[in-house]
Amino acid sequence: MANANRLTIGVMAMVAEDEAQRISDRTKVVLAASKKTLGGYRGTPPTAKTRAKAYEAQRAKTAARAALLKPEIEKAQKAGARTWRAIAEVLNERGIPTATGVGEWSGVQVGRILAALAS
């Protein structure tokens, strides 16, 4: 702004300050809403009972996923895959998604699935 003077710059600074405050207010509202819908601190620490329930829920989820993958792993083993890595390669070739649905299978993941099946 070639024609800017002290008054113009002062007004622009006030407008920028006001906009920064509005952005801050909107951000705080969205963050507060996301904590209510997405979770977050609820005012009390988790108890041993709630931790145990969460652990059991995760174990059940893992067991269900392992049960779904068991036939595919057995097919891979019958086809000659003996190592975890070899089984992972077969799962990747067949296009079977990982638990997250992102990335490819690794030997460690197959080992964890086999451990879940054994327990």
| DSSP codes, 41-94 | --SSPPPHHHHHHHHHHHHHHHHHHHHHHHHHHHHHHHTT--SHHHHHHHHHHT
pLDDT at position 110 is 94
Which residues of the chain carry a pLDDT beneath 50?
none
pLDDT at position 89 is 95
The two three-digit tokens of residue 93, written as one number = 């070739």
Q: Is pTM, for the whole model, over 0.85?
A: no
pLDDT at position 38 is 58
What pLDDT, in 10s, does the model give residues 85-109? Answer: 999 999 999 999 998 888 899 999 9
Residues 6+ apart with CB under 8 A from 99: 65, 109
Q: In the chain, where are the structural domains located?
A: 1-37, 51-119
